[in-house]
């Protein structure tokens, strides 16, 4: 049993965090959907290093899953997650039930246009509305000084940064670098779905992105490199490629020959698993 104090209501969360705030503590928030891996733990470590008090949240948010997506099957193991969070020094876990977050009569959706369009926005309709809605709620419930999100979900990070700016939410959003397995596969809770054969194929995603990023940095066309990268992924064993594109790192606008920081973004499907990854185009 973990010794991590856990609250399940917004009132209890506010009571604890409010007392810390009165004492002048710097408060960090790490929102997650659980099934914690080293990628999440990197967020927790960054929060614990910079903040006096750290709240982690575990909430599998139904609003960000499409009707044919894996909401029911999404891995859940709160006890194991709580052990990991306690070991790293997290002070409080907020793990509310669905009805605490979305009570009867709930009728508000937060939509961030522009950065939500394209990439995952095109392939997961409503996904970023669900993310922006729940993250705005979590930020307003906990009122942290800093909140931590992984660069693996880079479009999500840009959506959250835009939302916080546009809604004047008084929090600093911190992006944390992707954590990868030794063969380059970005850590994801959904990697648990991969069979051993699929896991071997999955590592190619990182290699294809790396090759594109290197070629574009050397002056090649992002569009042309992405087109051959798509063929390479199918040849490697992916069933389909939702997108493989070079985009501006801040606005997420498509770019062929980037003049500002850019990243390569991909989502590809293998068996029942959809993997996403991204990486920067190196600059001189």
Q: Report the catalytic residues.
A: 40
**Contacts to ligand PAF from residues 64-103, by CB under 6 A:** 64
Cα 89–Cα 95–Cα 100 angle in degrees, nearest 5: 150
Residues in the chain: 284
273 bridge partner residues: 270
147 bridge partner residues: 29, 173
CB of 259 to ligand PAF, least distance (A): 30
CB of 59 to ligand PAF, least distance (A): 6
**Contacts to ligand PAF from residues 13-32, by CB under 6 A:** 31-32
Nearer to ligand PAF, 127 or 247 (CB): 127
Nearer to ligand PAF, 56 or 208 (CB): 56
CB of 109 to ligand PAF, least distance (A): 14
Q: Measured between alpha carbons, how far is 140 from 85 in angstroms, rounded to an integer? A: 22
**Local structure of residue 29 (DSSP, 8 states):** E
Whether residue 202 contacts residue 239, with contact meaning beta carbons closer than 8 Å, is answered with no
- Tokens representing residue 18 in the block: 């409010």
Q: Does 276 bind ligand PAF (CB under 6 A)?
A: no
Q: Taking the C-alpha atoms of 78, 82, 83 and 84 in order, what is their torsion angle to the nearest 10 degrees?
A: 100
Q: Does 191 bind ligand PAF (CB under 6 A)?
A: no
CB of 263 to ligand PAF, least distance (A): 17
Q: Measured between alpha carbons, how far is 183 from 208 in angstroms, rounded to an integer? A: 12
Q: Does 33 bind ligand PAF (CB under 6 A)?
A: yes
Nearer to ligand PAF, 58 or 201 (CB): 58
Least Cα distance to 247 among 269, 271, 216 occurs for: 216
Nearer to ligand PAF, 88 or 220 (CB): 88
Q: Does 61 bind ligand PAF (CB under 6 A)?
A: yes
How many binding residues for ligand PAF (CB under 6 A)? 10
What is the β-pairing status of strands 92-94 and 53-58?
parallel
CB of 134 to ligand PAF, least distance (A): 5
Nearer to ligand PAF, 31 or 222 (CB): 31
**Contacts to ligand PAF from residues 117-156, by CB under 6 A:** 131, 134-135, 153, 156
Q: Does 115 bind ligand PAF (CB under 6 A)?
A: no
Q: Does 229 bind ligand PAF (CB under 6 A)?
A: no
Report the helix count and the strand count for the chain, using DSSP H and E.
9, 9
User: What stretches of 177-258 adopt beta strand conformation (E)?
Assistant: 240-248
Residues near ligand PAF (CB under 6 A) are 31-33, 61, 64, 131, 134-135, 153, 156
């Amino acid at each position: 049993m973990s010794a991590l104090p856990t609250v399940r209501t917004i009132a209890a969360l506010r009571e604890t965090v409010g007392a810390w705030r009165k004492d002048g503590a710097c408060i960090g928030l790490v929102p997650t959907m659980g099934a914690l891996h080293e990628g999440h733990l990197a967020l927790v470590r960054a929060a614990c290093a910079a903040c006096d008090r750290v709240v982690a949240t575990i909430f599998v948010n139904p609003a960000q899953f499409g009707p044919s997506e894996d909401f029911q099957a999404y891995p859940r193991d709160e006890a194991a997650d709580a052990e990991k969070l306690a070991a790293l020094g997290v002070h409080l876990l907020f793990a509310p039930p669905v009805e605490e977050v979305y009570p009867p009569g709930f009728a508000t959706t937060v939509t961030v246009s522009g950065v939500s369009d394209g990439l995952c926005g095109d392939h997961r309709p409503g996904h970023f509305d669900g993310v922006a809605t729940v993250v705005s709620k979590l930020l307003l419930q906990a009122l942290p000084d800093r909140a931590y999100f992984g660069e693996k979900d880079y479009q999500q990070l840009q959506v959250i940064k835009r939302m916080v700016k546009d809604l004047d939410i008084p929090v600093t959003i911190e992006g944390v670098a992707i954590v990868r397995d030794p063969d380059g596969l970005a850590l994801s809770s959904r990697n648990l779905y991969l069979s051993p054969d699929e896991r071997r194929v999955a590592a190619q995603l990182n290699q294809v992105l790396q090759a594109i990023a290197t070629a574009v940095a050397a002056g090649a066309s992002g569009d042309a490199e992405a087109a051959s990268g798509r063929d390479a992924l199918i040849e490697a064993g992916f069933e389909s490629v939702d997108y493989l594109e070079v985009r501006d790192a801040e606005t997420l606008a498509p770019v062929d020959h980037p003049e500002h920081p850019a990243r390569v973004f991909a989502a590809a499907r293998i068996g029942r698993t959809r993997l996403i990854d991204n990486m920067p185009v190196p600059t001189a």
